[in-house]
Structure formats: structure tokens, C-alpha cells
Structure 1
Amino acid sequence: MTEDATDLVARIDDLEIRIAHQDGVIADLDKVVTAQWAEIDRLKRLVGNLADRLGEAESRVDEFMPQKRPPHY
């Protein structure tokens, strides 16, 4: 082969190596993003449940707390 052909083959090999590496990185990032979305969904459900429980607790406190001000106010 000529020097130009050898250089071209080397450049193509380098590009193929870079693409293979980038494919691996993209796959790893996809796994991380998928795991993060799962965690975000779990945390959203948890916050929603806590908000519901807080609302229930506040409504129960209102039942037991006097609504008028004590005489010392």
C-alpha cells in the first residue's frame, strides 16, 4: 500500500476506536439517566405521600386545638 492509503486506514481505525468508545460512554450515561429518573419518580411519590400525611395531621390538630384566642392575648 502507499503511504496515503496506510494513513487513511490508520485514520479510519482511529475513528472506529473513538466511535466505539463514545458508544460505551453513551450507554453508561443512558443507564445513569434512567436510574436518576427512577429515583426522581420515587422521591416525587414520597413527597406526595408526606404532603398527604401532613395535610391529614394538620386537619387533626385543628380538631383538638381551640379556635379562639386564650384570655392572655
Structure 2
Amino acid sequence: MSDQRLTDLEVKFAEQEQTINDLSDMVNRQWQEIEQLKRKLTRAHDRILTLEDSVPDGSDAQKPPHY
């Protein structure tokens, strides 16, 4: 194997290794963002359920005078 070919392979390997590291970092950041969004969604869902529980049913509620 020629020295040039070996050097070319080493360069390609280094570039691919960097690409893999970059992609891994990107996936890690996206995973963290997904987890954060899931927590926010869970909190919003819990809040909606709490608000729904605090609103009286239609049968118990009085109609406003203009009805």
C-alpha cells in the first residue's frame, strides 16, 4: 500500500470519526430537548386536568341572566 493511499484513508477515517461524533452530539441534544418537552407537556396536561376538575358541570352551573 502506498504512503499516499494510507494517508488518504487516515484522513477519511478522521473525517468520518468527526462526523460520527457530531451526529452523536446532535442526537444527545435532541434527546434532551425531547425529554424537556415531554416534561412540559406532562405539566400542561396535569394543569388542564386540574382546571377541568375545578370547573362545575353544566348541570350545576347557573345560566347568566341574559339567557
Q: TM-score, normalised by structure 1?
A: 0.75
Spell out the pairing of 1:44-59 with structure 2 (5 A cutoff).
44-59=38-53
Distance, in Å, in 2 between the alignment partners of 1:66 and 1:24 is 61
| Amino acid corresponding to residue 10 of structure 1 in structure 2 | Q
Distance, in Å, in 2 between the alignment partners of 1:18 and 1:34 is 24
| Amino acid corresponding to residue 59 of structure 2 in structure 1 | Q
CA-based RMSD: 1.7
Q: C-alpha displacement at 1:43, in angstroms?
A: 0.2
Unaligned runs of 5+ in 1: none
Q: Max radius of gyration: which structure?
A: 1
Distance, in Å, in 1 between the alignment partners of 2:7 and 2:58 is 80
| Amino acid corresponding to residue 45 of structure 2 in structure 1 | A
Q: C-alpha displacement at 1:67, in angstroms?
A: 1.4
The alignment-based identity, stated in percent, is 34
Instruction: Determine if the alignment matches structure 1 residue 10 to structure 2 residue 9.
Output: no
Distance, in Å, in 2 between the alignment partners of 1:55 and 1:19 is 53
Distance, in Å, in 2 between the alignment partners of 1:37 and 1:10 is 40
